[in-house]
Amino acid sequence: MKPIFISLFVGLLAMVLLTGCLDLRLGGGSKSDTTNADQHPVVGQQLVAPTLGQQLVDLQKAREAGAISDQEYQDQRAKLLGTK
């Protein structure tokens, strides 16, 4: 009887620890405050619009990565800042 109790206890403890380490949601709950692949905040199931600052950072990263030209960067930056 005692070895069975110990085995069940160890198994249950291992399951609880692994569930916490892997961040599993066994109850079907949703992750309420997370981020998506672009690192923009997600609340519930709705994507929150990025702030002006985040848009400017993303635009600068795109320019630095060579995804857009300097002229496209200047045009989009002016459009975001409302100076064009």
pLDDT (0 to 100) of residue 34? 55
The per-residue pLDDT for range 4-59, each reduced to its tens digit, is 878 887 887 777 666 666 555 555 555 554 555 556 666 677 777 889 999 999 99
Q: Which tokens go with 60? A: 């600068």
**What is the rounded CA–CA span in Å between residue 50 and residue 60?**
15
pLDDT of residue 9: 79
**3-state secondary structure at position 64:** helix
Residue 80: name the closest of 56, 45, 62 by CA: 56
The closest alpha carbon to 61, from 52, 73, 51, 49, belongs to: 73
* Amino acid in position 5: F
In the prediction, which pLDDT does 60 show? 95
